[in-house]
Structure 1
Amino acid sequence: MDFSGIFWLLFFVFTVWPMFKQQNIERARLRLIQQFEQKRGSRLITMIHRQEAISLLGVPISRYINIEDSEHILRAIRLTPDDMPIDLVLHTPGGLVLASEQIAHALMRHPAKVTVFVPHYAMSGGTMIALAADEIVMDCNAVLGPVDPQLGQYPAASILKAVKQKSIDRVDDNTLIMADIAEKAIKQVEDFVARLLSDKMDAEKARELAKMLTEGRWTHDYPITCDKLKEMNLPINPDLPPEIFELMELYPQPAQRRPSVQYIPLPYGREDTKKPA
């Protein structure tokens, strides 16, 4: 094979082949989504934010909830008949409050049942969206998180606390402005979360839980487990369908030269793990 042939072979391997592979994954996703919809008689929407190598050079791109996500999900909800249930798969670290509130509000207004599936985690804005559902189905090891607002790199509650611990003459104008915005942000998010919870519990309980989730009681990455969510009287179902895990496998992380986690990807029974005689 001459140099030109080697060049075109390498070009195919590094550019064309990844595109074919990505198309095959997309088709597999659509097939599984259609099968799940037929099984449940619902519309399945996915919002899965993982690092995924989608460019020609395989550069991983980090994802979070943004306005583009809310536009797509709102369109999917508009295309769904009022009497058709909506299933939403959530796997996200969170994102913009505006986009999260838009999605949550649209789900809350949908007349038919809304179910959110959480296979691993739905933090921050993802938790806000989950609270809009009639039922949250999550793996027993999956978690949600607090929805306390963040201003830049700082929690809004921490900004307010820092200002209260100093005399007013020792606080610069920029920090005072940030504190004013932080106070408004906490109040706005608390009011919205209380509205989301109002159809799941009485108004007093809804306000109490909304305050707990937004006041900065925990760090922003604090994992709220299934057991704790049940204690909050939220509609939690631990029976996550196996199809959701199959779907997650079709959103692969970018390959690493040396994987940090490795195992034989087969379910084991006790007879499989017995040592040979």
Structure 2
Amino acid sequence: MNLSLFEIFWILLILAALLPVVRQRQVQKARIRLIRKIERKRGARLITLIHRQELISLFGIPLTRYINVEDSEQILRAIRLTPPHLPIDLVLHTPGGLVLASEQIARALLRHPAKVTVLVPHYAMSGGTMIALSADEIIMDENAVLGPVDPQLGQFPAASIMEAVRRKGDERASDRTLIMADISAKALNQVENFVYCLLAGKMEEPTAREVAHTLASGRWTHDFPITAEKLQALGLPVTTGLSRDIYLLMEMYPQPAQRRPSVQFIPVPYEDEDVERRPRR
């Protein structure tokens, strides 16, 4: 059978369009196998909430994702399908997202009768931190971080809007700013009370209120990294040390490939004899 150049072109185009789909299905099957392996090891249902950029469609367009209502619907469904006696492990890797969706997930985890463990391999900021606070135990990588949960109104922190009105005074602030300040006060109060409810059963009442105020009042910038050591100092149930399987799972949620990689290394563990020993300075 002789094919024209035009027909060959269209065949190659169709194959190029199907190849990413086939690869994605292969990765999905590998994820499921690894998730089942981790579940058998830990004796718990494993749920992942991982937001990374992934290549999609023919053109490889990267999408940046955040916690949304669709995420909360899926996680609530997973929790409903979990027997009350079965522990839940949640792998969290997210920059945050909608407060509504984060609160729904946190409440559902808090109500689960069996133990809930949140695993943080890299970071879980904002709404991700709120979800982590609902867990009975938070296991982090030694270099992983959580973040403040102070509410944001558009592009401005609610606490900063309140501070601007305090400095200028009600008489000099515009009506729009005063309205935003009123909403900010309500948002700060609501988030702080919610965080307190998440912590009330895990520590003494005064400590829970103090920690809730620290995390929700805007003491730090919204992207401030809170390390495991700082979280432990606050009295939160945080430990460090994740299993290798969790890191393998994260590698199955790849970032989009770049023409020239910013970071490059040989992806195998080294023994001491593999590298020439050099005297310390």
With normalisation by structure 2, the TM-score equals 0.96
Q: Does 1:31 align with 2:33?
A: yes
Distance 2:57 2:86 in 1: 36
Q: How many residues were matched structurally?
A: 275
Partner of 1:142: 144
Give per-residue Cα distances to partners, 1:125-177, cap 9 Å, x unaligned: 00000000000011000000000000000000000000010132211111100
Q: SS at the partner of 1:26?
A: helix
Q: Does 1:187 align with 2:198?
A: no
List alignment gaps of at least 5 residues for structure 2.
none
For residue 268 of structure 1, the aligned residue among 251, 259, 270 is 270
Distance 1:131 1:169 in 2: 40
Distance 1:97 1:73 in 2: 15
How far is the alpha carbon of 1:8 from its aligned partner? 3.2
For residue 46 of structure 2, the aligned residue among 40, 44, 47 is 44
For residue 159 of structure 2, the aligned residue among 154, 157, 160 is 157
Letter of the 2:250 partner, please give it: M
Q: CA RMSD in A?
A: 1.1
Partner of 2:241: 239
How far is the alpha carbon of 1:14 from its aligned partner? 2.1
Give percent identity, aligned residues only: 65
Paired residues for 1:28-107 under 5 Å: 28-107=30-109
- For the 8 Å contact 2:45–2:87, the answer to whether it is kept is yes
Letter of the 1:186 partner, please give it: L
Q: Does 1:122 align with 2:124?
A: yes
How far is the alpha carbon of 1:270 from its aligned partner? 1.1
Distance 1:273 1:2 in 2: 55
Give per-residue Cα distances to partners, 1:76-109, cap 9 Å, x unaligned: 0000000000000000000000100000000000
Partner of 1:174: 176
Runs of 4+ that moved beyond 6 A: none
Q: SS at the partner of 1:22?
A: helix
Distance 1:169 1:200 in 2: 44
For residue 222 of structure 1, the aligned residue among 203, 213, 224 is 224
How far is the alpha carbon of 1:6 from its aligned partner? 2.9
How far is the alpha carbon of 1:13 from its aligned partner? 4.0
Letter of the 1:11 partner, please give it: L
How far is the alpha carbon of 1:38 from its aligned partner? 1.3
Larger mean CA deviation between 123-132 and 229-238 belongs to 229-238
Letter of the 1:32 partner, please give it: L
For residue 19 of structure 2, the aligned residue among 17, 20, 23 is 17
Give per-residue Cα distances to partners, 1:195-241, cap 9 Å, x unaligned: 11111101110000000001111000000001111111111121111
Larger mean CA deviation between 76-85 and 235-244 belongs to 235-244
Letter of the 1:66 partner, please give it: N
Distance 2:177 2:71 in 1: 32
- For the 8 Å contact 2:68–2:97, the answer to whether it is kept is yes
How far is the alpha carbon of 1:54 from its aligned partner? 2.1
- For the 8 Å contact 1:19–1:56, the answer to whether it is kept is no
